[in-house]
Amino acid sequence: MFPVLQLSELNQLPPDTPRYGVMGHPVAHSLSPQVQLAAFQACNLPATYVRFDVPPEQLDTAVQTLRTLNFQGWNCTLPNKVALAQYMDELAESARAMQAVNTVLRDDDGRLIGFNTDGDGWVRAIREDFSIDVRDLRILILGSGGAGQALARQAAMEKCERLVIVNRTPEKANLLRQELEPLLHSTKLLGAQDRLKIVPWDEAAIADELNTIDLVVNTTSVGLRPADPAVLPARILQPHLFIYDTIYRPAKTRFLHAAAEAGCRSANGLSMLLHQGALSFEIWTGRSAPLTAMRKALREAAA
C-alpha cells in the first residue's frame, strides 16, 4: 500500500495534490505515511505522502528534484538528517540547535526551511508517558550516536536537573560534553561538574549513577534484534526509575522487560514518533495536529 519510490518515480504523483513524503536509506520501515495521511484525512486536507529512498550520495539530486516537483514539505530520517541542513535556504532554531534537519517546509516564496522535531517530540512523549517534564528530571542517556546527541542537546536546553551520558567511545561523548557544558553550568544540585557527567559503559559505574537519576533513556540499537540482551539488566535498575526505550519495534524490548521485573514505569519510542510527526504536521499546515487519529493510525501500523 505504501511502496518505496525512487527519485525518478516521484514525477508520477498527482500534479494537483500537495506533495509530502519521507526520505531515508533505508526507508521501507517508516510509518510516517500511515500517520501523516491519517492526519491530513482527519483535517480534510488533500495530500499525497510517500516514502522515497535516498542514499547519501544522491542527496543533492534529491533536494533539487523535490524543489522542481514543488513538494510542500518532507521528513528526513537516517542517514541524511545532518547533511540535509546544508541544502536549506534557512534553518529554524530547532535545526540549528540539533545540528540536523528532520522536517522541511517549502514556504510561499519557494524557499526551503529546515526544522528538527526530534527533541520537542521526545519532551512531549515524556510528559505524556510519565506526567512529568524533562526539565524536572535527572536523566541518564545510553549512547551518544545521532539519537543520543539529539536527546542530550534537548535535555540540556530544557535545563534538566542532571544529565549523565553513557557511551563506549569516550572521545565522542566528551566532544558532546564540551558543547553542552555552557547550557548546564550551574551550582544547582551537585555542583557544576556533577550536573553534566560522562560515564564509561561499565555496569558498576552505571549502577552507581542510578542512585541520583530519575529517567533512563536508551538511544542505542540494542533491542532491535530478538537475540539482543537488555541494554541494562534488571539487577541494577531501581523501582523509582522511569525507563524510556526509543525503540518501538519490538513493542517491548528486553530492556523494557527488565524494567518491569525491577518495578519501574516504562514506555517505548512510539510516543516519541507520534509527537515528532505531529509537530511536522503543524509546521506544514499551521493547524493543531489531530493526535487521536494519528495515534490510532500509528498503533495499527506498528502492530
Q: Which three cell numbers stand for residue 252?
A: 517491548
The domain in which residue 199 lies consists of 119-268
* pLDDT tens for each residue of 20-54: 999 999 999 999 999 999 999 999 999 999 999 99
Specify whether 138 is located in the same domain as 240: yes
**The C-alpha cell that represents 151 in the structure block:** 536527546
- pLDDT of 141: 98
User: For residue 104, which of 146, 59, 46 has the smallest C-alpha distance?
Assistant: 59
- pLDDT exceeds 70 at position 232: yes
144: how many CB neighbours lie within 10 A of its CB?
Answer: 25
CA 254/CA 250 separation, integer angstroms? 9
Overall number of domains in the chain = 2
Q: What residues are annotated to the active site?
A: 81
Of 242, 274, 272, 267, the C-alpha closest to 119 is 272
Instruction: Report percent pLDDT > 90 for the chain.
Output: 92
CATH number for position 80: 3.40.50.10860
Same domain, 12 and 143: no
Q: What pLDDT is attached to residue 185?
A: 76
Higher pLDDT, 194 or 122: 122
Whole-angstrom distance, CA of residue 30 vs CA of residue 101:
17
Alpha-carbon distance of 40 to 114, in angstroms, equals 21
Question: At 138, which CATH number?
Answer: 3.40.50.720
| 174 has a pLDDT exceeding 50 | yes
pTM of the model: 0.95
User: Would you place residue 290 in the very low, low, confident or very high pLDDT band (cuts 50, 70, 90)?
Assistant: very high
Task: Tell me the average pLDDT across 83-94.
Answer: 98
Q: What is the rounded CA–CA span in Å between residue 273 and residue 40?
A: 17
